[in-house]
Amino acid sequence: MVLPKYCSYRSQRTNCIYPPNYVLSVQDNNDDEYMIGAVCDLHKDAMKFRIETLQQTSAIPQGKIRFDPIVILGTDCIKRMDQEYEDIRLDGSTL
Ligand SMILES: [Zn+2]
């Protein structure tokens, strides 16, 4: 599973630039889980409200909204991981 770098929350004026704290998913009555996105602490409630609205219009499956905490790494650590990812990708493309 690839996590987004930023919170998925969007509004007309704002694109959230915070790293996500939770993976947001919906678990339906058949125990199937649909990943909706990732969200930061600040927008957890706003996203929940938005999901509930979307569920009412059947835009996304009915079911329990789940927030699974993402293990937070230090900023330096994330930067280093990005760097490593770049390196691996660059190495791969020269093959
Ligand atoms: Zn956010």
* Residue whose tokens read 């490593």: 84
Selection from 45, 39, 2, 43 nearest residue 23 by Cα: 39
Determine the distance separating the centroid of ligand 1 and the alpha carbon of 44, expressed in angstroms.
Answer: 7
Confirm whether 4 is domain-assigned: no
Residue 11 belongs to some domain of the structure: no
Residue 26 C-alpha to ligand 1 middle, in angstroms?
18
**Ligand 1 centroid from CA 92, angstroms:** 33
**Domain annotation covers residue 2:** no
Structure confidence at residue 92 (pLDDT): 54
Q: What is the pLDDT of residues 40-51, one digit of tens each?
A: 999 999 999 999
Split into its structural domains, the chain has a count of 1
pTM of the model: 0.67
What confidence tens digit (pLDDT) does each residue in 16-59 have? Answer: 999 999 999 999 988 899 999 999 999 999 999 999 999 999 99
Please check whether residue 84 lies inside any domain of the structure.
Answer: yes
Q: Is residue 16 part of a domain?
A: no
Report if residue 79 sits inside a domain.
yes
Range of the domain at 84: 22-93
Scan for tokens 């190495």, then name that residue: 91
